[in-house]
Amino acid sequence: MTVYEEICSLIGKDKASVNETLLLHHSKDESDHKAVEPDVVVFPESKEDVVKIVQYANENRIPVVPFGAGSGLEGQAIPIHKGISINFERMNKIVEVRPEDLVAIVQPGVTRVQLNEELKKYGLFFSVDPGADASIGGMAATNASGTLTVRYGGMRDQILNLEAVLADGRVIQTGSLAKKSSSGYHLNGLFAGSEGTLGVFTEIALKLHGIPENIVAARCFFKTVRDCVDAAVAILTAGIPIARIELVDSRSIKAVNAYSDTDYPEAPSLFLEFHGNQAGNQEDIDFVKGIVEEAGCLEFLFETDSLKRAVLWKARHGLNYALRHGSPGQASLTTDVCVPISALPDNVAFADSQLDSLGLKGSIVGHVGDGNFHVMILFDPNSPGEIAKAKELNRQIVNKALLSGGTCTGEHGVGLGKMEFQRKEHGEALDVMIGFKQLLDPNNILNPGKVLPVHKKNA
């Protein structure tokens, strides 16, 4: 029997497909890495379905690749060795909300927007906001973060427990519902960010937060990108509990205005947001205003209206699409380095100068509150010269970040695009990671070819 027929006999014919459109959809994500179609797409509806799929795959040395919303940027969901693509859209239940404990338990197919819509009635929200309406399973797998990370932390900080199916079919719990624990190794931290290479998530327990009483957004404009970053560092070192602080360069603002029908001044900018009560926010805003004026701010504007705030953050989240829209036919490569705050000004200024010196189109944005910034590089996918320039710029930015004590990826994950930097960043610790992988997945069926340089034994 074929893989499709075997899967149908295990979990039911209505939970598997070899439809060409579905195979194509599961061959790629939002990255520009080469698409590869799986042999079959499966739609489990329970933990038991996942166990059966993984056990069958392990016994027959067939690759298994989890698929969430397909919004990844480093090729994590691409089945480069074909095999089984597990789509979690039918495992999308919010299992339980415990408002008094500030905890939600969800299946991996639940999306960020879906969860927050449910939480509104409790006066709560889930803080990780990567922009796209990603699945919670995918966000846990890549250790996603986003614009609110500076205040609330990234995905690892929000995970209390992961229910994971290992390669041999065992089901484990990586944590508990307690807010902290000193018991055993920190498996939450190991499995979150493992990108489907150590286990397949079937349930996730998350920390929640109360919706702030008062939210105020602000925009401030500067002469240079360096001035923006210097101002951001000054705000952070002053100890102000800011909720969002985003860098958007003038190239990005121009693209946003054209794409989103906004009229923001086309200058390097910081987008800010304050969470708290009205009196506390006003004090923080007055403090920040003084800091940014001293750093050379040209104008400081507020957005208290919820609709205008929504437009502001929608524009920020839509930057990648705005840039592509303004450059039809162009592909994009997005860098994702994260550096210590003190090294941020030099790293951003370096990236800005290199983008210009190489003659490439693109822009710089970033969650500068946590040292994470992105250079969105546009290039002609049919031009070997431009492809080489884009890759070289990425390497230069990563190497500069590593020399500064930073990392090659702050939130997008390793996937396919960052594997070449793993040895340089981690040294001998990479061998420890490979050891974990080989211990938990000796047949290398779980998302093979991602994150670590481990090869399929049957390849």
pLDDT in tens, the chain (459 residues): 899 999 999 999 999 999 999 999 999 999 989 999 999 999 999 999 999 999 999 999 999 999 999 999 999 999 999 999 999 999 999 999 999 999 999 999 999 999 999 999 999 999 999 988 999 999 999 999 999 999 999 999 999 999 999 999 999 999 999 999 999 999 999 999 999 999 999 999 999 999 999 999 999 999 999 999 999 999 999 999 999 999 999 999 999 999 888 889 999 999 999 999 999 999 999 999 999 999 999 999 988 888 888 888 888 888 888 888 888 888 889 999 999 999 999 999 999 999 989 989 999 999 999 999 999 999 999 999 999 999 999 999 999 999 999 999 999 999 999 999 999 999 999 999 999 999 999 999 999 999 998 765 443
Residue 16's region, left for phi above 0, alpha for psi from -120 to 50, else beta, is beta
Q: pTM surpassing 0.75?
A: yes
Find out if CATH 1.10.10.10 is the number for domain 214-320.
no
Domains 214-320 and 327-403 share a fold: yes
Torsional sign, CA 438, 440, 442, 447 = negative
- List strands edge to edge, sheet with 16-17: 16-17, 40-42, 84-87, 64-67
Domain ranges of the chain: 3-89, 94-210, 214-320, 327-403
Measured distance CA(197)–CA(410) in Å, rounded: 19
CATH number of this structure's domain 3-89, picked from the four choices 3.40.190.10, 3.30.70.360, 3.30.43.10, 1.10.150.20: 3.30.43.10
Token match 């449910």: residue? Answer: 118
Sign of CA dihedral 394, 153, 90, 6: positive
Dihedral, CA of residue 453, residue 454, residue 458 and residue 459, to nearest 10 = 0
**Could you give the CA distance from residue 146 to residue 368 in angstroms, rounded to a whole number?**
10
Range 327-403 classified under CATH 3.30.70.2190: no
Residues in the chain: 459
CA 161, 176, 452, 60: dihedral to nearest 10 degrees? Answer: -80
Half-sphere exposure for 126 (CA within 13 Å, toward CB): 36
**CATH node for 94-210:** 3.30.465.10
What is the DSSP annotation of 254-308? HHHHHHH-----SS-EEEEEEEE-HHHHHHHHHHHHHHHHHTT-SEEEEE-SHHH
